[in-house]
Structure 1
Amino acid sequence: MEQRHGLVCEGFPPLCPKYPWLVSQSLETDKDGTGGQFFYTIHDPLFHYQCHIPELLENRIRGCFYGWMILSNNTMWSLWNPVTSKIIQLPPMILKDGECDDINSCCLSYPPDDPSSVLLLTRAKKSTFVFCRLDRKRKRLRWMEMSYVHQLKRISGNGTLVHGLTCCDGKVFALNTDSFLAEYVIHVHIVIRDKEVVIKLQLFGGCPLHSYFLTDGYYASNYLKGYRSELFYVTVAFSEKTKKTIGAVVVFKLDMASIIKCEKLLEGLKDWDLTNMTPEEVTDEDIEDFNYITHMMWEELLDLKDAVFYVDLVRDHSVFYFPGIASEFGGYVHIRGVMGSIIHSYNFRDKTISLSDMPSQVLPTSHVSLWDCRLEGDFVDSKQEVEDKDDEIVVRRITDDVVDLNESHLLNLPFHLLEMILDHCVGVEYMNFRATCKRCHIAAPLIKWREKSALRRLSNYSVVSPWLMVVDQEQGIITCTDPMLGEKYFMKKFNERVLCNKILCSRFGWLLYYNDARALVFCNPFTGDICELPPLLNYYGRFCFSAPPTSPDCMVVGFSRSNIYIHYVAREQTWRAIHLDFGNAHPYSFPTFYGRDLYALCKEGKLSILKYMGGEDYSWEKDVSRAPTSSCTSHASHFLTKCDQNLLLVIVGFSGESVEVFKLNSTKEWEKIDGLGRHMIYISGTTCLCIEAKSPHMENKIYFPQLHSKSKRAVFYSLETCKYDTFNSKSIEEKFVRTSYEIHPHVWIEPTWS
C-alpha cells in the first residue's frame, strides 16, 4: 500500500490553484499537541498540508460569504477575511433555552461594512431565526431571536422549519421541505428600520423534482447554494434509509438575471396562503399551476463545466461551491459520506461516482469544507498558465502519402489475409483493428452489429465473464463493460421500450425491469427481443425468474408488502396472488429459486421459504435460519445466490470493510466457507450471479460493480488472498478507494444471442 506524505506549514500552505482543496478541522487539540488544519485534494490523495492557522484554531468554518468566513466555537461567533486578515468578534450567543449547539445553517446578508448587513442563523429543532446586525456605528452588537412559525404556516400549510440559508443576488433564500403539499424555496426578506430588524418570509417558488425521485426507494437530501446571480439546488438521493449508498445526484440552476421570463407567473405566488387549509382542500388545479411555475423557473444542469460542489453529510449537511478550477478537475460534486471517512465524487460527464478515502489524520468527526476564499484574479492568472501550456501542442495535417510512408511493415500482409483476421474480430477488437492503419480501415467496413451476420459473429465470440451493463436513459445508450479488459461496448437505443426506469433482475442473458410507464418488461439487449408482462397495479421491489422468458417453464415471482405474485409467462395472462403474513420481516430481498422452493432474505441474513409455490398446497415458513455471526463491525449488505446444490450468503461490510461467504447446511444453519472452488460470484444491487469460471484465474472471486478509476477493470475480492484486486495485477487498497460505480441503472448480465 502506498504511504501518505505531507508538509507542515505555519500559516497558509502554497495551494495549487487548479485543484479543489478541502480543509479539515478538529476543534480539539490532538494527543500529541499538534491540532491545526489539514489541507488536501482528492486528486492527489497521498499528499496533504498540516497547518497552524491561528484564526482557525478551535474555530469551525460554517460558511463563506462575500470573501468573509463565518467561524464558530460553541457560543462564540466571528467573521474573518483571510485576504485582509480582518476579524470581527461577535458577543457570546446566549439563548433562552440554552441550546446553542442546534444551529443548522447560517448566512451573511451583505458584506460586514454595509450598514444593512445581518448575520442570520437557523435552528434545527426550533422555528426561530437567531441574528445579529453588524452595523459598525452601533456601540454594542447583540444577538436577537425571532419566531417565524406563523409566517411559514401561511406559506406551507403545516411546515415547521426552514434550513439551507444562502445568499444570491443580494437576497437571502432558504428551504422548507417538511410541508404536506410541496417543497418550497423561501425568500427571507430582511428590512432594516432604524434600530429594528424586520424579517419577512415570502414564497419564492417550488423546489425542482427529477424523474429519478418519482420512483419508490429513494431518500433524498436537498441543498440550496447561491453564487452571484445564480441559485443552485442540489439533490443527493440514496437507495436506502441509512444513506450509505448514493443512487443519484442532480443539480438545478435558476438564473436571477433571466427570472424576468417567469415574472408574470411568479405574481400568482404573492397571494399564496395555506393558512387553515388541509391537504384535501388544496385543489388539483392549485398543484398543477404550482408545478408548472416550478418547472419554468429551474433548469437541470447536464454539465458543471469547471465548477465543483462539496456536500458534507456528516456534520451539519453544509454545501460549498467553487465556480471554476482547471478544466480537467471540474465537473464534480464531492460528497463526504455519512461514515465520515470516504469522499464520493460524482462526475457529471460520465455519470459515475468515484470513491477516495480521507487522510488518516482526518477523524470521522472532523469538520471538512471546501476552501473557497481565494482571489479570483489569482485564479484566472493560474488557469491561463495551464491553458497556455496546453496550447503548446503542435497540430499537423497528415496526408495520405505520409500515412503510406509511416505505416508499420508488420501490416504489409496480403489484403485477403487482413480480411480473414478481421472476420474473427468483434466489438472493440474490430474497431481497434480498423483504426490501426489505412489498409485495415479499407479491409474492415463499418458493421451494424444488429444485423444477423454480425450477431452470429458475436455469438461465436468467446465470452468468459458476465458484462457490467449500464442503461443511460438520457442519451439512449446501453454500455457493456468487459470486467477483464475494461473495454466498453456501446449499443444505441434500438427500441423505446428497452430504456428502463429500474432494473429488477438479470438472469440467462435477460433483463426484467420497469420501463418509463412502470410496465414490467423482459428484454434481451443483445438480440433486441422484448416480452411484456401483464400489468401489476402497484410498484413492487424484488423479483426473480426461473428460466428465460422464451422457455415454457419460465416463472416470475415478485414481492409486495403483504403478497407474493406469481406469473407463468407461457401459460397465463394474469398474475396469481398469494397473501402471506410477513410480519416485521418485510422487505425481502434476493429471492432465489432452489428446486420447487423459493428462498428470500429478510433482516440481517435470516431466511424465509415458500414451498411448493407452483401448487395449491404451498407453505410459508418465516425465519427458518438465524443470521450468521459476522466479523463485520459496520453496516453490511447481504446477498443470496445458488451455487450448484448449495445456497450461499455473501456479507459485504460498508465500503468493503470485510467480505464473508456462508453456506446453508442441512440443519438450516449458516456455515462459513473459505472458498468457492471453480465458481465465481457477481454482485450488484438487484442481482447476485454464481457461475462456473471458464478460466482458472477467474475462479474463487467475488466481483463488484465498481471499476478501477484508471484501468476501468472490475474490482474483485479474492477469497484465496483475502484482498481486493483487478486484472491488471495491481492491487488496490483495502477499501473501495480509487474506484467508481455507475449512477444509471446497472447490473451484471451474461451475454446470450438466442
Structure 2
Amino acid sequence: SWREAAVSVRIVEKHPWLMCFRKRGNLVELRDPLHWTSYTLSLPELADSTVGYARDGWLLMNKTRSKDVFFFNPFSREVITLPECELDFDKIAFSCPPTSDNCVVVAIRFPDFSATISTCHPGDDKWVTATYPSYIRAHRRSNIVYQNDRFYCFSADGTLSSFNPSSCTWSYLCAPQLNCSYINDGNNARKETAVALAEKEGELFVIFRSSNERPMVYKLLVSLEEWEEMSTSTFDGLTIFVGFCNSELRTNLPWMRNSIYFSRFGYNRKHCVSYSFDESRYNPPKEWQNWIELCPPQSLWLDPPPKNVLSSLHNN
C-alpha cells in the first residue's frame, strides 16, 4: 500500500511497446504490454522490407532481395536513405538517431573465424568495408548493442567482442570469458540456447535462455574484470524487454519489476509472456521450448508512440 501511494508522485521510465508486423500487408500492431491495449497502424512505406535494428524511435530496415538500407520513423513517417550496402551482413545496428551528427551504422558478417565490417554515416556516398581476424564464432542469435563508442556482440564460446568505429579497431576478446551452463559447445546437448545483449546507463547485460528453463542474466561490471550473475536480490527493480531484433532495459516500473518480458503475446492476446524472478516462473506457465516461440522475428520493442499519434490510431 505504501508503494501504491507513491506511484502518483514517482518519476519513472516509460515501458516500451511492441510493434508486431503481419506476414502480409502494410498494417502493424502497436501493443502496450502493461495496459493490455493494442492499436493498428498503417505503414505503406514498409512494403517488402524487414527490420534489422531499432532504437530511439527509429527502425533500420532493408528491402527484401535488395541492397537498399534505410532509416524509418514509424510515427513521423520520416525516411532517411543510405547508400546500397554490398555486404551480405548477418547483423546490423546504429549508434544513435540518424538525425544526429555522430550517427554511425555498422553491418557485420561473420565468416569462419573472421569479421567483415561495413560502416556508413547518414549522408555518405558509400560504405567502408574491412575484414578483421576474429578467432571466435559469433553466436548466431546474438544481437548487437552500442555503448560508450563501441558496438558489442556475443560469441558462441562465451566471449564478448567489440568494434570501435572511430578507430576502426575490432577486439574479439574485450572482456573475460563468461562461463554459463546454457552456452552451447561440442559437449552440450541442450535443445537450444539463445542469447541477447542489452545496455543501460553504461552497463552491459547478457540474457541466456535454454529450452524451458529459467533465464540467466549476467551484468558486466564497470571494471570489465568479471561477470556478475543477477539474482532476485540484485535485480533491484530491473525489467528487461527481450526481442529478436533488440532488447530494452528499464528500472522501477510499477508492477513489472524484477521480470523479463518477451515479445510474444500470450494466447489470450492480453499480455506478453514474462518470467518473474520474484515468483520463479513463467506467465503464462507454459513450457516454452524455443527462442522463436518467445521472440518471433516479426516483432520488436519500440518507445511508446507520442500522444498525438496515439489519438489517431484505431484501438483494437
Q: How high is the TM-score relative to the length of structure 2?
A: 0.78
Tell whether 2:161 aligns with 1:602: no
The amino acid that maps onto 2:96 is: A
Whether the aligned pair in 2 keeps the contact of 1:648 and 1:662 (CA below 8 Å) is: yes
Tell whether 2:55 aligns with 1:507: yes
Between the aligned partners of 1:578 and 1:679, the Cα distance in structure 2 is 38
Higher RCO, 1 or 2 (CA under 8 Å, sep at least 6)? 2
Between the aligned partners of 1:599 and 1:661, the Cα distance in structure 2 is 17
Partner of 1:716: 274
**Unmatched segments (≥5 aa) in structure 1:** 1-461, 726-731
Between the aligned partners of 2:244 and 2:279, the Cα distance in structure 1 is 25
Partner of 2:78: 529
Whether the aligned pair in 1 keeps the contact of 2:148 and 2:202 (CA below 8 Å) is: no
Per-residue deviation, residues 447-468 of structure 1 (Å, max 9, x unmatched): xxxxxxxxxxxxxxx9942121
Between the aligned partners of 1:743 and 1:639, the Cα distance in structure 2 is 14
Corresponding residue to 2:226 among 642, 664, 669 = 669
Give the superposition deviation at 1:636.
1.5
Map 1:280-679; keep pairs closer than 5 Å: 464-472=14-22, 474-495=24-45, 498-516=46-64, 518=66, 519-561=68-110, 562-570=115-123, 572-586=124-138, 589-610=142-163, 612-615=164-167, 618-622=169-173, 624-630=175-181, 634-654=191-211, 656-665=212-221, 666-674=223-231, 675-679=234-238
Distance 1:691 1:463, change over 3 A: closer
Whether the aligned pair in 2 keeps the contact of 1:504 and 1:543 (CA below 8 Å) is: yes
Question: Aligned pairs, how many?
Answer: 279
Between the aligned partners of 2:270 and 2:245, the Cα distance in structure 1 is 22
Matched position secondary structure for 1:686: coil
Partner of 1:326: none
Give the superposition deviation at 1:494.
3.5
Higher normalized helix content (fraction of residues): 1
Partner of 2:244: 685
Between the aligned partners of 1:467 and 1:605, the Cα distance in structure 2 is 30
Distance 1:574 1:689, change over 3 A: same
**Unmatched segments (≥5 aa) in structure 2:** 1-11, 184-189, 310-316
Between the aligned partners of 1:468 and 1:752, the Cα distance in structure 2 is 10
Q: What is the percentage of aligned positions where both structures have the same residue?
A: 21
Structure showing greater radius of gyration is 1
Distance 1:631 1:494, change over 3 A: closer
Distance 1:530 1:517, change over 3 A: farther
Give the superposition deviation at 1:623.
6.6
Whether the aligned pair in 2 keeps the contact of 1:468 and 1:482 (CA below 8 Å) is: yes
RMSD: 2.8
Between the aligned partners of 1:629 and 1:744, the Cα distance in structure 2 is 25
Whether the aligned pair in 1 keeps the contact of 2:136 and 2:156 (CA below 8 Å) is: no
Whether the aligned pair in 2 keeps the contact of 1:649 and 1:662 (CA below 8 Å) is: yes
Tell whether 2:257 aligns with 1:699: yes
Give the superposition deviation at 1:619.
4.7
Whether the aligned pair in 1 keeps the contact of 2:27 and 2:41 (CA below 8 Å) is: yes
Distance 1:604 1:481, change over 3 A: farther
Whether the aligned pair in 2 keeps the contact of 1:555 and 1:568 (CA below 8 Å) is: yes
Whether the aligned pair in 2 keeps the contact of 1:471 and 1:744 (CA below 8 Å) is: no
Per-residue deviation, residues 207-229 of structure 1 (Å, max 9, x unmatched): xxxxxxxxxxxxxxxxxxxxxxx
Distance 1:650 1:723, change over 3 A: same
Give the superposition deviation at 1:667.
4.6
Give the superposition deviation at 1:584.
4.2
Whether the aligned pair in 2 keeps the contact of 1:504 and 1:541 (CA below 8 Å) is: no
Between the aligned partners of 1:687 and 1:623, the Cα distance in structure 2 is 21
Between the aligned partners of 2:206 and 2:271, the Cα distance in structure 1 is 25
